[in-house]
Amino acid sequence: MTPLSACLFDLDGVIVDTAKYHFIAWRQIARELGFVFTEKDNERLKGVSRTRSLEILLEIGGLALPAAEKVDLAAKKNALYLSYVRQMTPAEILPGADAFLMACRAAGYKTALATASRNAAVIIDLLKIAALFDVVVDGNKVTHTKPDPEVFLNCAKELGLAPDACVVFEDAEAGIEAAGAAGMLAVGIGDPGILNKADLVVPGLSELSLEQLRTAWNNKKNNTVAKP
């Protein structure tokens, strides 16, 4: 059986609750464009790039806009988003995330940050979490957005590991799909109703032990438990 060697973490919604800032920034853009954007709609934007998020948003609003206007809107959303993000302190690290990362590292697992965000460097800096990761692959380093597995495959490559030696922690449907496509164990962080393609779902990293993780790993590798 392939041993578990690396833990790959999504950033927004897994390590830090920036998901709420992405949502309120896009909601503001939708409001200015004249339509309502709900939290349910927002699930479709989680994990996907800024450009793709805007396309989905416009689809929800039933709007088709010229390319130049889309560039301006994406920039406007990012400025709004950054105005919230810049206020963040390490206190906004999600409960248990830093402790779980430290436990993974103490157990000898490599750790990586795997995110579609192009703002990852700013966030890592504000939260002072750089030392918790062996590798960072962000939206500036990938061409294909989740559900494409590129971001996770690049992490495995940078760590010098086979994809099937890695586990992914994700709060987005697109991210769970990407982990599956990469051939990695997928741990969903959030609602099991939404993340129903994950191998295991927990409400947050504070509610996950390494023992539970190893059990899920062994079950998947031995093919003993059907997915929920």
Determine, following the binding rule CB under 6 A, whether residue 27 of this chain makes contact with ligand BG6: no
CB 165 within 8 A of CB 3: yes
Provide the minimum distance between the beta carbon of 9 and Mg ion in the complex, in angstroms, as a whole number.
Answer: 9
Site for ligand BG6 in 160-189 (CB under 6 A): 172
Provide the minimum distance between the beta carbon of 189 and Mg ion in the complex, in angstroms, as a whole number.
Answer: 8
Interface residue with ligand BG6 among 27, 49, 132, 151 (CB under 6 A) is 49
DSSP 76-141: HHHHHHHHHHTT--GGGBPTTHHHHHHHHHHTT-EEEEE-S-S-HHHHHHHHT-GGG-SEEE-TTS
Provide the minimum distance between the beta carbon of 117 and Mg ion in the complex, in angstroms, as a whole number.
Answer: 8
Q: Which stretch binds Mg ion (CB under 5 A): 49-57, 119-127, 166-174, 197-205?
A: 166-174
Site for ligand BG6 in 64-123 (CB under 6 A): 78, 115-119
The span from the CA of 185 to the CA of 180, in Å, is: 7
17 is catalytic: no
For residues 64 and 94, which CB has a smaller minimum distance to Mg ion in the complex? Answer: 94
CB 204 within 8 A of CB 14: no
10 is catalytic: yes
What is the three-state SS of 186-218? EEEECCCCCCCCCCEEECCHHHCCHHHHHHHHH
Of these residues, 12, 41, 138, 199, which one is catalytic? 12
The residues that touch Mg ion, with contacts defined as CB under 5 A, are 10, 12-13, 171-172
